[in-house]
A and B are shown apart, each in its own frame.
Chain A
Amino acid sequence: MVDLVFTVSIIASGIRLSTPVIFAALGETIVERSGVVNLGIEGMMLMGAFGGFIGTFFTGSIFVGLLFAISGPIMMAILMAFLSVNLRTNQLVAGLAIWLLGTGLTALLYRLIFGVATISPKINEISPIGLPILSQIPVIGSILFSYDPIVYLAFLLVPLVHIFLFKTNLGLKIRTVGENPRQADASGVNVYRIRYLALIIGGALAGLGGSCFTLVSTGSFLENITAGQGWIALAMVIFGRWKPFYAVIGALIFGMVDSFQIGLQSIGTAIPTQFLLMLPYILPIIIMAGTYKRSYAPAALAVPYRRGER
């Protein structure tokens, strides 16, 4: 019985832990499908975490918090789009700049607003909602089928993003822009606008992913609270071969491994904690090495587009 509860709670916490990566990976899938690599995703997630925190802290409303969580990253996405789409700077360079900007700005603003307090301010986290019927199952029900609404949102988005990319007119435009922007342009698709749109969606999703750290798990903000999960999301997009469902599988594997190592820590083991903590970072490298094939990537990935270039 205890084993069952333990296993189930590991799975449940794995699902919870994978949520930020799912958001970010879904967003990045859309962005990369449009032919842009956004290395700034980590910075955008930080901005989302920070925005969610201050929004909720000052208004007490989770809704306003979420609004703040997506608006910062969206502004960064617009800056990224301006750099990489209009100015055609190297996308990798632009992404790195966005990443470092997010890292610096969140730390600076947090300290400017809250000072160097020893006790970090806290907000009320979102409370979990049980799934009807399923959460009534004895013992495991309340563990396995009771999450914060934002977790449900993440999983609801997976099929939505899939449908968006592969079944809608706009999705077809995005994919064509990522594969062959010249064709898209010649067919009357505004390549710049599509890439802006993709980046903005990607930024909003990264922001939502980031907000999970402050609104769901801890209720407080720390410098670099995302701890590299933006980079993990990037790895998962590659692992997922630029398909939403596969990327989410990668994110879930990540979440499970993370939850497993936390579980192991809690019951105590001979393996040093630090080695367990390494697992979530080593895992993406291993699964990328095992599955990567360049041919799945959008053909125009990371290539700036310029009209009428001869």
Chain B
Amino acid sequence: MKVELQRKRLISFRSCVPFLSGGFAFVVVAIILSLAGVNPIMAYGVMLKGAFGSLHGIADTLVKTTSLLLLGLAVAVAFKCKVWNLGTEGQLYIGALGATLIGISIIGSIPILGIIAMLAAGFVFGGCFALIPAALKVKFGISEIIVTVLLNFVVLLFIAYLLHGPLKDPTTVFNPYSPVIFSESQLPIILPHTRLHAGIIIAALAIIAVYVLLSKTKIGFEIRSVGANIKAARYAGMNVTKSIFVIMGISGGIAGITGAVLVSGVQHLLIEGISPGYGFIAVIIALLGRNNPFGVAIAAFFFAALMSGSEVMYRMLGIPSSLAITLQALVLIFVLIGEIFARLQIHKTENAMKNW
């Protein structure tokens, strides 16, 4: 009875760790801010108010949550197979490109179908692009980590080329924008007078889909097995190559859908800065969410609030919004440290419980 109680307390302690240790990140940034002559309490206050203080703020946070959640899922899914997809940023752009092509074509003028076709195009474009690092990994054995990062740069340049050239809106002279997509293929706003669009529903569906895929389906079992122990998976007759291709396709596909959602729901056209580095934050989110779809959702919401809050902070106090990424990286570092200490503590307690 007592042991059971202790175990429960242990579990709740464990789930608190990320939050407690994440708090240290805020302390560190507060010190930096006060050294720079900014009152950190005021700064954080503005941030909090910006993220949650108004309907607009909340909507903006949720819009950002949508992107971060989808991308976080993309990274987490690949992690499940021990594949490091650091190229979600690039895959997002390729997916956005695919979606834009559909959105400005005749298909984009068909209601509902236009949106579905855009999402599908985002998935296919992003997924296929992600097969490049998968193929290099399988065929030549080179690490997907470096390849996916480098390909991000290539994609950004490619998109820049398109927007300055073939895909440039013919009606503008200076702006490197694509034409606006048909209004039929724009995601509907679900909260009137805000920017909150139906993408958040897509993100919710994606959580469920990823959960079912990984824990209920055959291919999910194979993928998890390859991720958990590649030697044992091979030995048991599983197809490692197939798993890597499938998971990279899905991961890139989800990243591509993120791009499609950004085009269809937020920008309604393709621009160079459609993602303010979401792909990199997604890696932190996946790690913090322990690659669990629901954990990813929580982390995504938290980081989205940080981002929208820091944007308001920038507008009001002139504090650079790169504060957000600093905070996020620090949260990751402190959570890493916190988890180790928690593990040690838990280890001790568990041993004590065994002896008891």
Using a CB–CB cutoff of 8 Å, the interface residues on chain A facing chain B are 39, 79, 83, 87-89, 92-94, 96-98, 100-101, 103-105, 107-113, 115-116, 223, 227-228, 231-232, 234-235, 238, 272-275, 277-278, 281-282, 284-285, 288-289, 292-294
Contact = CB atoms under 8 A, between A and B. Distances in A.
Q: Which of A79, A94, A235 has the most CB of B within 10 A?
A: A235
Interface string B306-338: 000000000000111011111111101100110
27 contacts: A83-B333, A87-B340, A92-B84, A96-B332, A100-B281, A100-B284, A100-B328, A100-B329, A103-B280, A104-B322, A104-B323, A104-B327, A107-B325, A109-B32, A112-B33, A112-B36, A228-B149, A228-B152, A232-B150, A235-B146, A238-B143, A275-B157, A278-B158, A285-B136, A285-B146, A288-B140, A288-B146
B153 A227 contact: yes
A107 B320 contact: yes
A292 B140 contact: yes
Contact of B280 (A39, A87, A100, A232): A100
B71 to A, nearest CB: 14
A121 B109 CA distance: 49
A111 B161 contact: no
Given A103-B280, A107-B320, A228-B149, A275 B325 contact: no
Contacts, number: 137
A104 B340 contact: no
Given A87-B340, A238-B142, A274-B161, 14 more contacts: A93-B287, A96-B283, A97-B284, A100-B283, A104-B322, A104-B325, A105-B329, A228-B152, A274-B157, A277-B157, A281-B153, A284-B150, A289-B136, A294-B141
Interface class of chain A by DSSP:
helix
Q: Which of B147, B150, B160, B280 has the most CB of A within 10 A?
A: B150
Contacts of B32: 108-109, 112
Interface of B: 32-33, 36, 38, 84, 86, 136, 139-143, 145-147, 149-154, 157-158, 160-161, 164-165, 280-281, 283-284, 287, 318-320, 322-330, 332-333, 336-337, 340
Given A108-B326, A228-B149, A235-B150, A292 B141 contact: yes
A97 B142 contact: no
B283 A101 contact: no
A87 B165 contact: no
Nearest to B320: A111
A281 B36 contact: no
Contacts of A116: 318, 320
A152 to B, nearest CB: 29
B110 to A, nearest CB: 33
B283 A79 contact: no
B146 A231 contact: yes
B136 A83 contact: no
Nearest to B277: A103
Contacts of A101: 326, 329-330, 333
B336 A97 contact: yes
B333 A103 contact: no
B146 A238 contact: yes
A272 B326 contact: no
Contacts of B322: 104, 107-108, 111, 223
Contact of B150 (A108, A112, A281): A281
Nearest to B323: A108
A13 B113 CA distance: 53
A4 B264 CA distance: 53
Contacts of A115: 318
Contacts of A277: 157
Contacts of B161: 272-275
B53 to A, nearest CB: 23
Nearest to B38: A112
Contacts of A92: 84, 145
Given A277-B157, A281-B154, A288 B142 contact: yes
B142 A292 contact: yes
A284 B145 CA distance: 13
A87 B340 CA distance: 6
A285 B326 contact: no
B153 A228 contact: yes
A278 B326 contact: no
A288 B139 CA distance: 12
Contacts of B332: 93, 96-97, 100
Contact of A89 (B145, B152, B280, B340): B340
A108 B320 contact: yes
Contacts of A275: 157, 161
A89 B340 CA distance: 8
Nearest to B152: A228
A227 B136 CA distance: 23
B140 A83 contact: no
A139 B142 CA distance: 43
